[in-house]
Structure 1
Amino acid sequence: MYSEYCIGQQKLNFPINKITQSYNPFVQDAPRQRLPNENPKDYMLSAYTSLIHVIDITSTSAIYRVDPFAKYLCCWTNIINQAEISAIQERTKWRHPNLISFLFYQDVSDKYSQIKTREFKIYYEYLPLDVKQLIEKRSQTGEYVPEDEIWKMIIGLSDALLFLQKKGVSHSALTLESIYFDEEYLLYRVQDVSPFRAKAPHLFYNQFLASLNGTNLKHNLFKQDVFCVGMIILSLALLRDCKDIYNEGILQNGLFEEKLQKLKQLYPGRVENVLRSMVDLDNEKRPDWNELQQILQQNKEKQIGLSEQQSNIIQQIDKQKCKINVDINNNQENIEMKINIQKGDGLDQKLINLNKRIQETLSKSMSKNLR
């Protein structure tokens, strides 16, 4: 994605402050040996020798390579207060395969400054491929995402956001560019940016919003997240950004239903059923992440039931095929036996006739000798 990877590399000479005790608090001169059964990612983040600057993305963000491992981290430089530092420290303790983790930070603020806010470089996992780019990539070839992959995306993201809901955290900043596809682990992953939302709410908002009426202005933030994730997944399933269903911020019901009908043609069954529940325009009927888990479980059980039925049908067909083959073989054997019997009867008759002629010849010979 970035052609400048090979230039401008600078080695950091100042120490990295690890936020949690799960990683080593210092940088080694040489990578340590990997422990038995140690997660490769955890090993890489605790055994690196240095961080190599690769490229500046913006004036406040850059990409670094974890040396000597072929892995990249993203760094975001920002002015944060103690509350935000504490929030980041807490979040680095959270581990979920579908969440992008905060890893560690550097305090680069003026040590002699009397200001309470401080400048920090915050490092987190770098993933170059977001859903918006994935849509653009696949739409060029018209290659729709397989149903199993869409289902895996639904399961993974809903589980990650349920993880946040149980901690009382709503994402509320979901866009096509905030959900990534991890090509190394084949997972769809999302980053929690809630520690920074209070300071700059205009920078963090859901890309897709359901229409609200006067009775539910105090809407459930988790249900709004469910709607937005549903629309993001719908966009990927259709290989088209669904922003075109909005006209000056107002959702157009006709265009919205056309999208759902197209979804039904492409992914009938469990994917369509779950996504329809996620993008229900009624905020009261739409599930939150906890309720969605129950819906997913029900569809999983239905799928297992259908798979078992299909398996039983296949077994019955196989049994019928075996029976037919046995009958065919038996019939073939019977036919061959009849043919052999017929052939045997003819042969026996020839032997009988030959024996008669021999007996007749012997009788004649004996008669001549007696005379």
Structure 2
Amino acid sequence: MYPEYYIGQQKQTQPINKITSSYNPVVQDVPRQRLPNENPKDYMLSAYTSLIHVIDITSTSAIYRVDPFAKYLCCWTNIISQAEISAIQERTKWKHPNLVCFLFYQDASDKYAQTREFRIYYEYLPLDVKQLIEKRSQTSEYVPEEEIWKMISGLSDALLFLQKKGISHSALTLESIYFDEEYLLYRVQDVSPFRAKAPHLFSNEFQPPENGQKSNKFKNDVFGVGMIVLSLALLTDCRDTYNQGVLQFDRLEDNLQKLRKLYPGRVENVLRAMVDLDNERRPDWIEFQQILQQHKEKQVGLSEQQSNIVLQIEKQKCKGNTDVNINNQENVEMKMNSQKGDGLDQKLINLNKRIQETLSKSLSKNLR
């Protein structure tokens, strides 16, 4: 998977017993047996034997393999505050299929150091939306509508989960949303614990034109996700709708018109709601769920109508086939009767002919 894999295997992390007790997998010499109905991911994270270094991404981040499983984790090493430790500790308890999970962290500080350095481990997903666009655009392989719909509903559900906890993402980019090829899900990572340390690093890639209106951070996230989904749907980077950071309304409308040709109906309608230029009309994640539910009900209604139409067509076909069979049977009977009638007439003609011949012979004899 990585060219440095076998070299990297020689490097080991610090002892596993330094993992915080907030999430303390039972590390053993050999993996324990999987329990009945146990989630595969939960099993892996509680049954691994060691973390093996694979490759360094930057000076402060690296990829590790969860030995003996073929699963990879990212590790970010930095000095974090007690507040950040508490936030990460809380997030290791969260379980949402569309959230990239924090798993655990290790205290990597030197015991004589004045500051505390931690390694923070989270799920590694190598394919982000930007890469997915580049990959698909090479062959113009547009994403199926059901997958776009799954992306919208999955991400909105994850961000609704955060909104209910009072957390906005506020760092949405084409590279912050990932496609999980193992579970076929679009997933986003909550980076809010680190926002206070470097606020300038956390801003949405696609900003709405609020025109002096009071900004709503959750509605801004809705706009950001909408533009990211639009980018994937069109296989293009929608940053071209901005000119020096200013959104060009005509370019956005052109993109929405292109979307209509590719995904008419519910996808277009929902995305138009997400990227609505009016901050008052644009929903937050709670309101957006109601929009999704309405379209889901409409889709169910349409499916039922289509099923009824198909059923009626099948009934008509059956009735038509029955009528044709009856008509064919009647035609066969008429033909048979006709053939029978023709045979009877011929017999009568032949009998009459023989009678005439007999009478003629008898008359000739009497005359002699």
TM-score range, shorter chain: over 0.9
- AA in 1 matched with 2:15: F
Partner of 1:12: 13
1:361 positional shift: 11
Q: Secondary structure at the match of 2:135?
A: helix
Identify the residue that residue 283 of structure 2 maps to in structure 1. Answer: 287
Residues in 2 aligned to 1:2 and 1:197: alpha-carbon distance in whole angstroms: 31
- Cα displacement (A) at 1:13: 5.1
Contact kept? 1:16, 1:105, Cα under 8 Å: no
Aligned mates of 1:356, 1:247 — CA distance in 2:
107
Cα offset, 1:74, TM superposition: 0.6
Q: Which residue of 2 aligns with 1:230?
A: 226
Find the partner of 1:251 among 247, 252, 262: 247
TM-score w.r.t. length of structure 2: 0.92
Q: Which moved more, 1:55-64 or 1:305-314?
A: 305-314
Consecutive unaligned residues in structure 1, runs of 5 or more: 364-371
- Tell me if the contact between 2:57 and 2:63 (Cα under 8 Å) persists in the aligned partners: yes
Which whole-Å deviations, capped at 9, do the CAs of 1:167-206 have from their partners, x for residues lacking one? 1110001100000000110000000000001101122211
AA paired with 2:326?
Answer: N
In the alignment, is the contact (CA less than 8 A) between 1:277 and 1:286 conserved in 2?
yes
For the Cα contact (< 8 Å) 2:222–2:283, is it kept in 1? yes
Aligned-pair CA distance for 1:7: 3.1
Q: Secondary structure at the match of 1:7?
A: helix
Question: CA 1:81/1:175 → structure 2, altered by over 3 Å: closer, same or farther?
Answer: same
Identity %: 72
Cα pair 1:20 1:89 within 8 Å, conserved: no
Match of 2:92 in 1: 92
1:72-91 residue pairs with structure 2 within 5 A? 72-91=72-91
Tell me what 1:274 maps to.
270
Label 1:84 to 1:328 Cα distance change in 2 as closer, same or farther (>3 A).
same
- Aligned to 2:32, what secondary structure does the other structure show? coil
Deviation at 1:244, TM superposition (A): 0.7
Alpha-carbon offset, residue 30 of structure 1: 0.2
- Alignment CA distance shift 1:223-1:20 (3 Å): farther
1:112 Cα offset (Å): 2.3
Please report how far the alpha carbon of residue 3 of structure 1 lies from its aligned counterpart in structure 2 after TM superposition: 3.5
CA displacement at 1:23 relative to structure 2: 5.2
What is the rounded CA distance, in whole Å, between the counterparts of 1:17 and 1:160 in structure 2?
31
Paired residues of 2:106 and 2:120 also in contact (CA < 8 A): yes
Partner of 1:183: 181
Partner of 2:364: none
Question: 1:203 aligns to what?
Answer: 201
Give 1:316 deviation, angstroms.
1.4
**What displacement does 1:300 show?**
0.6
SS in 2 for 1:3: coil
- 1:40 corresponds to: 40
Give the aligned residue type for 1:14: P
| 1:300-321: CA deviation from partner (whole Å, max 9, x where unpaired) | 1111111111111111111111
The answer on whether the counterparts of 2:23 and 2:92 sit within 8 Å (CA) in structure 1 is: no
Match of 1:242 in 2: 238
The CA distance in 2 between the partners of 1:126 and 1:234, in whole Å, is 25
Match of 1:340 among 312, 329, 336: 336
TM-score where L is the length of structure 1: 0.91
Aligned equivalents of 2:112, 2:351: Cα separation in 1: 130
Distance in structure 2 (CA, Å) of the matches to 1:19 and 1:284: 44
For structure 1, which segment, 319-328 or 242-251, has the greater mean C-alpha deviation from structure 2 after superposition?
A: 319-328
Task: Tell whether the 8 Å contact from 2:23 to 2:103 is kept in structure 1 after alignment.
Answer: no
**Structure 2 unaligned regions, length at least 5:** 360-368
Question: How large is the Cα RMSD of the aligned pairs?
Answer: 2.2
Measure, in 2, the Cα distance between the counterparts of 1:316 and 1:104. Answer: 58
Counterpart residue type for residue 52 of structure 2: I
Find the aligned partners of 2:308 and 2:72 in 1 and give their Cα distance. 48
